Amino acid sequence: MPYELPPLRYAVDALEPFIDAQTVEIHYGKHHATYLKNLNTAIEKHPELFALPLKEVLTDLSKIPEDIRLTVKNMGGGVYNHNVYWTCLAPSQGGEPIGKLAAAITKKWGNFETFKAEFEKASLGRFGSGWCWLSKDKTGELVIHSTANQDAPMQEGLEPLLVIDVWEHAYYLKYQNRRADYITNWWNLVNWQEAENRFA
Q: Domain containing 120 — which CATH number? A: 3.55.40.20
Q: Are residues 116 and 177 in the same domain?
A: yes
Strand order in the sheet with 130-136: 142-148, 130-136, 159-165
The reported pLDDT for the residue numbered 88 is 98
Q: 26-29 long-range contacts, Cβ below 8 Å, gap at least 24?
A: 26/169, 26/173, 27/82, 27/165, 27/169, 27/170, 28/82, 28/86
Residue 137 and residue 179 share a domain? yes
* Same-domain pairing of 103 and 183: yes
Residue 148 lies in domain: 99-199
Domain shared by 59 and 133, yes or no: no
Q: Residue 156's closest CA among 61, 45, 54? A: 61
Question: Do 109 and 175 share a domain, yes or no?
Answer: yes
What is d(CA 57, CA 35) in angstroms, rounded to the nearest whole number?
15
Q: Model pTM?
A: 0.96
Whether pLDDT at 188 is above 90: yes
pLDDT tens-digit map of 132-145:
999 999 999 999 99
Res 200 pLDDT > 90: no
Residue 121 and residue 48 share a domain: no
pLDDT attached to residue 92: 86
User: Same domain, yes or no, for 158 and 191?
Assistant: yes
pLDDT tens digits, residue range 30-74? 999 999 999 999 999 999 999 999 999 999 999 999 999 999 999
Q: What is the pLDDT averaged over residues 159-182?
A: 98
80 & 105 share domain: no
Angle at 121 between CA 77 and CA 135, to 5 degrees: 45
If asked whether residues 122 and 148 sit together in one domain, one would say: yes
Burial of 128 (0-12, 13-18, 19+ CB in 10 A): exposed
Overall domain count for the chain: 2
Q: Is residue 189 a part of any domain in this protein?
A: yes
pLDDT band at residue 22, thresholds of 50, 70 and 90? Answer: very high
pLDDT category, 191, cuts 50, 70, 90? very high
